[in-house]
Amino acid sequence: MIHIIDYGAGNISSIQNMLKKIGADAVITSVPSEIAEAKKIILPGVGSFDTGMKLLNDRGWIEMLNEKVLNEKITVLGVCLGLQLMCKQSEEGKLKGLGWIDADVVRFNMEQAEEPIRIPHMGWNSVEQLKDVTLLKTNEEHRFYFVHAFHLSNVRDENKWLQTHYGYDFISGIQKENIYGVQFHPEKSHRYGMELYKNFAELK
């Protein structure tokens, strides 16, 4: 059973619908104690970093999430803001992140871009796999739907999974042991998203 965390800042119904399409068992949960027996977790998110962290804290999620992810080592997937919340901190706010990934979150830098870009980065874009991770097939092009103005920075090389170009290259997916995260929205990415969620559901 996959538990989709409803902490008040996620695109949760579309994720559940996508999982239903691929035949995966998934439940939306808004009560931290309900994930005590969870085997897999999806941490979604849309909106600002500080709002997300405040909601997680105010609704009592942080202690239980740390127990499940860091101690029990269950598989977790962060999506969009959910990925960013896994990091240490963000330029978007002042609150500390969950700190599961040794990385920061920064705003797109228009001065660094090799060509003119609009912020937020919105629409379809390709990802390049920097290492083999079972959530996606290797040696195939994958395109996903992005909506974000901030991205990861200072990611450890061993945690870098996906890279995307928008003005310049940025890390759009990470993997560290049982922790996975993507900057895009698989639930809005048609067959590419279905593949990723199907492989996530089948992870042992």
CA angle 75-129-39, nearest 5°?
10
- Distance from C-alpha of 37 to C-alpha of 2, rounded to nearest angstrom: 10
Of 3, 92, 185, 195, catalytic: 185
Q: Is 87 a catalytic residue?
A: no
Alpha helices in the chain (DSSP H): 12-21, 49-58, 62-66, 81-85, 190-202
Distance CA 19, CA 131 (A): 25
Let me know if 165 is a catalytic residue: no
Rounded to the nearest 5 degrees, what angle is found at the Cα of 53, between the Cα atoms of 129 and 6? 80
Distance CA 101, CA 167 (A): 24
Q: Which of 142, 151, 187, 195 is catalytic?
A: 187
80 tagged catalytic: yes
Task: Output the six-digit token pair for 20.
Answer: 């239903």
Distance CA(52)–CA(158), nearest Å, equals: 26
H helix or E strand, kind and range, residue 162: strand 160-166
SS3 label, residue 57: helix
Task: Single out the catalytic residue among 3, 80, 92, 195.
Answer: 80
- For residue 66 the two structure tokens come to 């740390």
Catalytically annotated residues: 80, 185, 187
